[in-house]
Structure 1
Amino acid sequence: MTALFSRGSVAVVEEGETLSVTGDVDVTLAADVAASGVQWLQSTSLSAVTLDFSQVNKASSVAISVLFEWLRICQQRAISVQAIHFSAPLLRLASLAELDDLIEHPAATLGV
């Protein structure tokens, strides 16, 4: 496990093929959280990843924005997203935003 970003209770770590966020991402940290994942995704030689937001307990559009930035890089680099894991609060927010198909079937939805 390698920490890519850590500030207060918020961290971004990579472990094998998984890129994870822990803590409640707010607008003051969003750019740094997103950038740390983008940097890792741009430098990895992996062809498939899992994006894990299951330890983000606050439903926030900021966390979903980070996810979208990471998905954009995955598409650019032809990295398949095997799974996206959300905490229950984030899953409810994603469902309200009608992102269910993306969360449940990222590879099929993204076409990568």
Structure 2
Amino acid sequence: MTVLLSLPNVTLRVDNKTLEVIGDVDVTLAAELAACGVEWLQHTEHTSIIFDFSDVQKASSAAISVLFEWLRICQQRAISVDAIRVSAPLRRLASLAELDALIDTPAATMAV
């Protein structure tokens, strides 16, 4: 496991092919978090990955924005997203935004 970013309220780790966000993402941290993940995605040799937001306990559109930025890079680099794991609060927010299909089956949804 490698720590890519460690800030007072949020940490980004990579474990094999899983990018894991730990802590709460707010607007003041989102850009730095997204950029750090983008940097890793642009240089990874993996052809498929997993995004893990299950340790993000605060529902935040900033966290969803980070996810979208990473998904965009995956599409550009033809990296398959095997799974997106989210906490219950993020699941509720994603559901309100009608993003259930994306969270549940990212590879199928992104292929459309």
TM-score tier, shorter chain, comes to: over 0.9
The residue that corresponds to 1:20 in the other structure is: 20
Alpha-carbon distance in structure 2 between the residues aligned to 1:100 and 1:13: 25
1:83 maps onto 2:83 in alignment: yes
The amino acid that maps onto 2:93 is L
The amino acid that maps onto 1:7 is L
SS at match of 1:84: strand
Q: CA deviation at 1:56?
A: 0.3
The residue that corresponds to 1:41 in the other structure is: 41
Alignment gaps of 5+ in structure 2:
none
CA deviations 1:49-94 (Å, max 9, x no partner) are 0000000000000000000000000000000000000000000000
Question: What pairs with 1:95-106 in structure 2 (closer than 5 Å)?
Answer: 95-106=95-106
Q: CA deviation at 1:9?
A: 2.8
The amino acid that maps onto 2:51 is L
Alignment gaps of 5+ in structure 1:
none
Q: CA deviation at 1:110?
A: 0.3
Aligned sequence identity (%): 66
The residue that corresponds to 2:107 in the other structure is: 107
Q: Count matched residues.
A: 112
* Contact residue 33 and residue 66 of structure 2 kept, 8 A: yes
Alpha-carbon distance in structure 1 between the residues aligned to 2:29 and 2:99: 23
Alpha-carbon distance in structure 2 between the residues aligned to 1:111 and 1:52: 20
The residue that corresponds to 1:9 in the other structure is: 9
Alpha-carbon distance in structure 2 between the residues aligned to 1:7 and 1:18: 19
SS at match of 1:28: helix
Normalising by structure 2, we get a TM-score of 0.98
